[in-house]
Amino acid sequence: MRGLRSKRAQDLLRSSNLTVTEVCLLVGYSSLGSFSSRFRRLVGTSSASSRTPTCPWGTGSAGSRSTTRTTPSSR
C-alpha cells in the first residue's frame, strides 16, 4: 500500500501543479512530516525534488527545480 501511495504521489508531483502538501493529503497522509520521510525512504529522494523541471525554453537539468524564472531583458 505504501508503495502505491508513493507511486501515485510521484505521478501527481510530476504531472500537476499541486503543492507537496496537497499531494500528501490526496494520497492519504494527514501529516506532511510522515509523508515526506516515507516518500524519501521509499523513493530515494525528497518529494519536492522529484518534480520534473518545467521551462518554456527547454533548458534545465533533471532533478533540479528553480523557484525563480528569469526572462530576457528588453533593452
Instruction: Note whether residue 16 is domain-resident.
Output: yes
Instruction: Note whether residue 45 is domain-resident.
Output: yes
pLDDT at 48: 83
Instruction: Note whether residue 18 is domain-resident.
Output: yes
Q: How many domains does the chain have?
A: 1
For residue 39, CA distances in Å to 46, 50, 55, 56, 63 come to: 7, 10, 25, 28, 15
Instruction: Note whether residue 27 is domain-resident.
Output: yes
Nearest to 26 by CA among 9, 4, 41, 13: 9
Whichever domain contains 6, its CATH number is 1.10.10.60
pLDDT at 53: 59
33-42 long-range Cβ contacts below 8 angstroms, 24+ apart: 35/9, 38/2, 38/6, 39/6, 39/9, 42/2, 42/3, 42/6
9: domain range?
Answer: 2-50
pLDDT at 58: 46
pLDDT band, very low/low/confident/very high, at 1 (cuts 50, 70, 90): low
Instruction: Note whether residue 72 is domain-resident.
Output: no
**pLDDT tens, 10-59?**
999 989 999 999 999 999 999 999 999 998 888 888 888 877 655 444 44
